[in-house]
Structure 1
């Protein structure tokens, strides 16, 4: 016989905080993934727990909560800039866009866009892409997957392994072919028919840029922009546009000799977005940030990033919280070194650094509709002009 556990969390838990986000992501791994979990202010609610496992599950959940708090005890998000626009937030935006047919859910965390949303998407990318090209970037096109070794070099599996989508082909056997034809590979034990994965669906755009240049020399400065659909496994909250498993991202990557050039590059992109959002009347803030994870080995990286503002996020208010819609990342030498990328003609191999800006288009779209409403004809003239709507 099963029951629903309600575990009181000492000190409570505010939705949208780093601890809340980390706990939400880590709980399935502490609990084994087979329980329905929700967080309700000061209570953690876990459904479907057998009475014989009540004590074990309670202990595991509290361990996850304590670990999430410990991960963030030395890290504080600092607001670097904020702007309050004139627009009231609109409720029910996703439902309205879905009902009018502009957003078509095709699975958990997977959407198709058409009509109005597709037009705004194209206008937004044209606007951002145009700025990247004006700043001297050249365009590149990438496949939808990266080598597993690429993410290993980048340290992705050390901090974000829970979000990786591995790709595996069928084993070269008649049994595997029969299993696939009968749908058995899609069942719980279907992995027995699959080869060991070598590829991973791309979680970002910039990993491609480094993968393409590993063990190579480049002329500096090098500016690259690209758009790709990326993938990230999410356990919770994948029924709207706030958190997706498949999402669109454009990035602008810079390689340069001096880290000061990377800082200036990132600062200029922050100012570009601030100027645009103010012109559009869009409320926003820029904050120091760090990569989400719950691996103890990564705690020093989280603190280091926050302390020196190596990662900044652009957040836009939506009903019930805010969304990180863009990030500005100073890699320093943390990626050029593992990929052995050097400056052309360099004798030391040390005179190169990198940084990138990433725009999450699905979130940015959603936040714009939440602040401006679903009737684009009523959007402010500067928005419609900049996005050619």
Structure 2
């Protein structure tokens, strides 16, 4: 994902004048996003949510011929599954755990005393001593929409001969507070996930690079697909990232969002090889370890890209974009897919 954060990602203007109005300022002034006082944590307006929902409909039509199994999970997962996923090996700085009070009356009194002291201070100066009375629960915040899928698939036994395709949507959490409106701490991912043989998964990813690019073209947004890597943590992270790039395991579709001089990953196309299959012992029909891959749609990021490139008034968006989102979405997507197929056959 794009790693530019804070004002550097927003106001890349000569001399570093961060006082210039930003895209975030415009979104807040228009009421499309609602400031909560915490960077990267926003409310969304009815108009913003309407665009997200209409994008979801278009994505559903785009993948309907794959006959995916639709699964929806809450934005939390079992802590043991999260531990098994090895997410903390690569992204400990992004993870979000859920804690709760598990003490007795005496502990509750200590908590309340600490809380009274904290409330007496200004927001930025508040003590967090009351949190000493909190303990980890058995759930954590979901870091990626596909993560709850793998243990579920493992419990079902071997995959069918043609593998499985899953359609999943979830709010996700990543601890990277920023003023860049495209870098939210709580955001939605829509994913199609493929489980099967290496050939099945690679064919799936190539298909979705084409289909993801088609969707963005239909939305009249710039298409730029490039090799990428995840933001692995620590000194060893560069070695892992270099290996990921060398094996071409990750591609991203990049669109300028925060400003015209930087690009943000709005879709990602990932091949996990047998990483998740080996962790959860997911087997193909022939007994081999299953490979997995996914296409991820950043729902808020695509929506923000639309507002960035087409303006903050949805009624003034290009006619083709409005026809796709507020018209006969099925027909528009079907025609786009048909043209794509005809072009590939030439």
Give the TM-score of the pair, scaled to structure 2: 0.79
Per the alignment, in what secondary structure is the counterpart of residue 327 of structure 1? strand
Of 34, 54, 57, the match for 1:104: 34
Q: Is the 8 A contact 1:158 1:297 kept in 2?
A: no
Conservation of the 8 A alpha-carbon contact between 2:227 and 2:251: yes
- Which structure 2 segments of 5+ residues have no match? 13-20, 119-126, 328-346
Q: Does 1:373 align with 2:311?
A: yes
Distance in 2 between the 1:128 and 1:284 partners? 17
Q: Which residue of 2 aligns with 1:116?
A: 47
Contact in 2 for aligned 1:158/1:298 (Cα 8 Å)? no
Residues 94-124 of structure 1, C-alpha deviations (whole Å, 9 max, x = no match): 3333223232122421112122211111111
Rounded to whole Å, the distance in 2 between the matches of 1:192 and 1:241 is: 32
Whether the 8 Å CA contact 2:145–2:172 is kept in 1: the answer is: yes
Report the counterpart of residue 175 of structure 2 in structure 1.
233
Q: CA deviation at 1:226?
A: 1.3
Shift of 1:298: 3.6
Are residues 1:132 and 2:63 paired? yes
Q: How many residues align?
A: 306
- Please tell me the root mean square deviation across aligned C-alpha atoms, in Å: 2.9
Between the aligned partners of 2:131 and 2:46, the Cα distance in structure 1 is: 39
- C-alpha displacement of 1:230: 0.7
Are positions 1:292 and 2:222 aligned together? no
Map Cα deviations across residues 284-320 of structure 1 (whole Å, 9 max, x no partner).
3111111102323344321221012110011001314
**1:325 has 2:256 as partner:** no
How far does the alpha carbon of each residue in 1:61-98 deviate from its partner, in whole angstroms, 9 at most, with x for none? xxxxxxxxxxxxxxxxxxxxxxxxxxxxxx74433332
SS of structure 2 residue aligned to 1:306? helix
Unaligned runs of 5+ residues in structure 1 are: 1-15, 26-36, 42-90
Distance 1:386 1:301, change over 3 A: same
Q: Tell me the alpha carbon deviations over residues 213-242 of structure 1, each in whole angstroms, 9 at most, x when there is no partner.
A: 34543324211111111111114x2x3522
Q: 2:24 aligns with which of 81, 94, 101?
A: 94
Match for residue 168 of structure 1 among 93, 99, 115 = 99
- How big is the shift at 1:146? 1.6
Assess if the C-alpha contact under 8 Å between 2:194 and 2:294 holds in 1: yes
Contact 1:284 1:317 in 2 (8 A): no
Rate the CA distance shift 1:184–1:381 in 2: closer, same or farther, 3 A: same
Structure 2 counterparts to residues 54-203 of structure 1, below 5 A:
92-108=22-38, 109-179=40-110, 184=115, 187-203=127-143
Q: Secondary structure in 1 aligned to 2:279?
A: coil
Distance 1:106 1:17, change over 3 A: closer
